[in-house]
Amino acid sequence: MRRGRKNRQENTRKTSAVKPGMPGGRYRPLTQPDEQQVHRTILDVLENIGMGDPIPIVKEQALERGCFINEHGRLCFPRAFVEDSIANAPRNARLFGRDPKHDIDVGDNRVHNYGGGEAVNMLDVGASSYRPSTLDDLYDTARLVDRMDNIHALARLVVPTEIQDQFACDINSAYVSAAGTLKHTQLTFADASHVQPTLEMLYMIAGGKEKFHERPFCNSGGCPVISPLRYGQDNSEVCVESIKFGAPIWVTVAPQAGATAPAALAGAVVQSVAEALAGMLMVHVVDPGTPVVLGPWPFVSDLRTGSFTGGSGEEALVSAAAVQMINYYGLPSSVGAGMTDSKLPDCQAGYEKALAIALAAQAGCNDVSECSGMLGSLMALSLESMVIDNDLLGAVLRTVRGIEVNEETLSYKVMEQVVHGEGHYLRAQQTLDLMRTEYEYPALADRLAPGEWEAAGSPDIRQQAGERVKSILSSHYPEYIDPAIDAKIRERFPILLNPDNMHPGNSRW
Amino acid sequence: MRRGRKNRQENTRKTSAVKPGMPGGRYRPLTQPDEQQVHRTILDVLENIGMGDPIPIVKEQALERGCFINEHGRLCFPRAFVEDSIANAPRNARLFGRDPKHDIDVGDNRVHNYGGGEAVNMLDVGASSYRPSTLDDLYDTARLVDRMDNIHALARLVVPTEIQDQFACDINSAYVSAAGTLKHTQLTFADASHVQPTLEMLYMIAGGKEKFHERPFCNSGGCPVISPLRYGQDNSEVCVESIKFGAPIWVTVAPQAGATAPAALAGAVVQSVAEALAGMLMVHVVDPGTPVVLGPWPFVSDLRTGSFTGGSGEEALVSAAAVQMINYYGLPSSVGAGMTDSKLPDCQAGYEKALAIALAAQAGCNDVSECSGMLGSLMALSLESMVIDNDLLGAVLRTVRGIEVNEETLSYKVMEQVVHGEGHYLRAQQTLDLMRTEYEYPALADRLAPGEWEAAGSPDIRQQAGERVKSILSSHYPEYIDPAIDAKIRERFPILLNPDNMHPGNSRW
For B268-304, write each residue's pLDDT tens digit.
999 999 999 999 999 999 999 999 999 999 999 999 9
- Quick one: pLDDT at residue A401? 98
pLDDT of A8 strictly over 60: no
Residues in chain A: 509
Alpha-carbon distance B456 to nearest alpha carbon in chain A (angstroms): 11
Q: What is the mean pLDDT of chain B?
A: 95
- Alpha-carbon Rg for chain A, nearest whole angstrom, is 23
pLDDT confidence bin for A9, thresholds 50/70/90:
very low
**Which of A183-197, A255-269, B9-23, B180-194 has the least mean pLDDT?**
B9-23
- Quick one: pLDDT at residue A320? 98
Contact assignment for B304 to A28 by CB distance below 8 Å: no
- Quick one: pLDDT at residue B116? 78
Q: What is the mean pLDDT of chain A?
A: 95
Residues of A in contact with B398 (CB under 8 A): 312-314, 317
Contact assignment for B228 to A358 by CB distance below 8 Å: no
Alpha helices in A227-333 (DSSP H): 233-241, 265-286, 313-329
Q: Which of A119, A131, A238 is nearest to A190 (CA)?
A: A238
Q: Which of A366, A18, A408, A405 is nearest to B31 (CA)?
A: A405
What interhelical angle do A461-473 and B347-362 show, nearest 10?
110
DSSP state of A99: S
- Quick one: pLDDT at residue A16? 79
Amino acid letter for position B4: G
E strand intervals along B283-376:
292-296, 299-302, 307-308, 334-336, 367-369, 374-375
Residues of B in contact with A438 (CB under 8 A): 263-265, 314
Size of interface A-B (CB pairs under 8 A): 450
B445 in Cβ contact with B24 (< 8 Å):
no
How many whole angstroms separate alpha carbon B166 and alpha carbon B233?
Answer: 16
Q: Nearest-5° angle of CA B263, CA B269, CA B271?
A: 85
Would strands B218-222 and B225-226 be described as parallel, antiparallel, or unpaired? unpaired
- Percent of chain A whose pLDDT exceeds 70: 97
Alpha-carbon distance A110 to nearest alpha carbon in chain B (angstroms): 16
- Quick one: pLDDT at residue A471? 97
Q: Which of B162, B225, B234 is nearest to B193 (CA)?
A: B234
How many whole angstroms separate alpha carbon B365 and alpha carbon B320?
Answer: 8
- Quick one: pLDDT at residue B11? 41
Contact assignment for A405 to B37 by CB distance below 8 Å: yes
Closest by Cβ to B344, choosing from A26, A353, A460: A460
For residues A168-186, average pLDDT: 98
What DSSP string runs through A50-70? -BB---HHHHHHHHHTT-EE-
DSSP helix/strand/coil, B446: coil
Amino acid letter for position B478: P
How many whole angstroms separate alpha carbon B170 and alpha carbon B148?
Answer: 24
For A348-376, write each residue's pLDDT tens digit.
999 999 999 999 999 999 999 999 999 99
Contact assignment for A313 to B362 by CB distance below 8 Å: no
Closest by Cβ to A411, choosing from B266, B428, B435: B266
E strand intervals along A150-226:
154-155, 185-188, 218-222, 225-226
- Percent of chain A whose pLDDT exceeds 90: 95
For A308-352, write each residue's pLDDT tens digit.
999 999 999 999 999 999 999 999 999 999 999 999 999 999 999
- Quick one: pLDDT at residue B423? 97
Question: Assign residue B454 a region: left if phi > 0, alpha if psi is -120 to 50, beta otherwise?
Answer: alpha
Residues in contact with B329: Cβ distance below 8 Å, sequence separation at least 6, in sequence order: B86, B294
- Quick one: pLDDT at residue A506? 85
How many whole angstroms separate alpha carbon A349 and alpha carbon B439?
Answer: 19
pLDDT of A450 strictly over 90: yes
pLDDT of A129 strictly over 80: yes
- Quick one: pLDDT at residue B441? 95
Residues of A in contact with B393 (CB under 8 A): none
How many whole angstroms separate alpha carbon A55 and alpha carbon A77?
Answer: 15
Alpha-carbon distance B368 to nearest alpha carbon in chain A (angstroms): 15
pLDDT of B3 strictly over 70: no
Interface test with A, best of B271, B351, B362, B399 (most A CBs within 10 A): B351
Closest by Cβ to B354, choosing from A345, A346, A354: A354
pLDDT confidence bin for B505, thresholds 50/70/90:
confident
Largest CA-CA distance found in chain A, in angstroms, rounded:
81
For B408-448, write each residue's pLDDT tens digit.
999 999 999 999 999 999 999 999 999 989 999 999 999 99
What DSSP string runs through B361-417? HHTT-SEEES-SSEETTTTEEEHHHHHHHHHHHHHHHHHHH----SHHHHTHHHHHH
A49 in Cβ contact with B419 (< 8 Å):
yes
Contact assignment for A261 to B404 by CB distance below 8 Å: no
Could you give phi then psi for residue A253, rounded to 5 degrees?
A: -125, 145
For B113-169, write each residue's pLDDT tens digit.
987 789 999 999 999 999 999 999 999 999 999 999 999 999 999 999 999 999 999
For B373-397, write each residue's pLDDT tens digit.
999 999 999 999 999 999 999 999 9
For A192-215, write each residue's pLDDT tens digit.
999 999 999 999 999 999 999 999
A237 in Cβ contact with A279 (< 8 Å):
no
How many whole angstroms separate alpha carbon B146 and alpha carbon B140?
Answer: 10
Q: Which of A171, A170, A176 is nearest to A144 (CA)?
A: A176
Would strands B121-123 and B380-382 be described as parallel, antiparallel, or unpaired? parallel
Closest by Cβ to B311, choosing from A385, A425, A445: A445
- Quick one: pLDDT at residue B2? 38
- Quick one: pLDDT at residue B140? 98
Contact assignment for A228 to B416 by CB distance below 8 Å: no
Alpha-carbon distance A476 to nearest alpha carbon in chain B (angstroms): 25
- Quick one: pLDDT at residue A509? 92
How many whole angstroms separate alpha carbon A466 and alpha carbon B86?
Answer: 52
Q: Which of B192, B171, B189, B185 is nearest to B286 (CA)?
A: B192
Alpha-carbon distance B351 to nearest alpha carbon in chain A (angstroms): 4
What DSSP string runs through B152-183? -BEE--B--TT--SHHHHHHHHHHHHHHH-SS
Chain A nearest-CA residue for B320: A399
Alpha-carbon distance A206 to nearest alpha carbon in chain B (angstroms): 38
Residues of B in contact with A317 (CB under 8 A): 398-399, 402-403
Amino acid letter for position A299: F
Interface test with A, best of B305, B347, B424 (most A CBs within 10 A): B347
pLDDT of B1 strictly over 50: no
Please report the ipTM that was assigned to this predicted complex.
0.96
For B191-230, write each residue's pLDDT tens digit.
999 999 999 999 999 999 999 999 999 999 999 999 999 9
B411 in Cβ contact with A264 (< 8 Å):
yes
pLDDT of A505 strictly over 90: no
Residues of B in contact with A29 (CB under 8 A): 26, 399, 402-403
Q: Within 13 A of A317's CA, how many CA atoms are on the CB side?
A: 28
DSSP helix/strand/coil, B68: strand
For A385-426, write each residue's pLDDT tens digit.
999 999 999 999 999 999 999 999 999 999 999 999 999 999
Contact assignment for A461 to B261 by CB distance below 8 Å: no
A398 in Cβ contact with B313 (< 8 Å):
yes
B194 in Cβ contact with B167 (< 8 Å):
yes
B250 in Cβ contact with B334 (< 8 Å):
yes
Contact assignment for B449 to A307 by CB distance below 8 Å: yes
pLDDT confidence bin for B12, thresholds 50/70/90:
very low
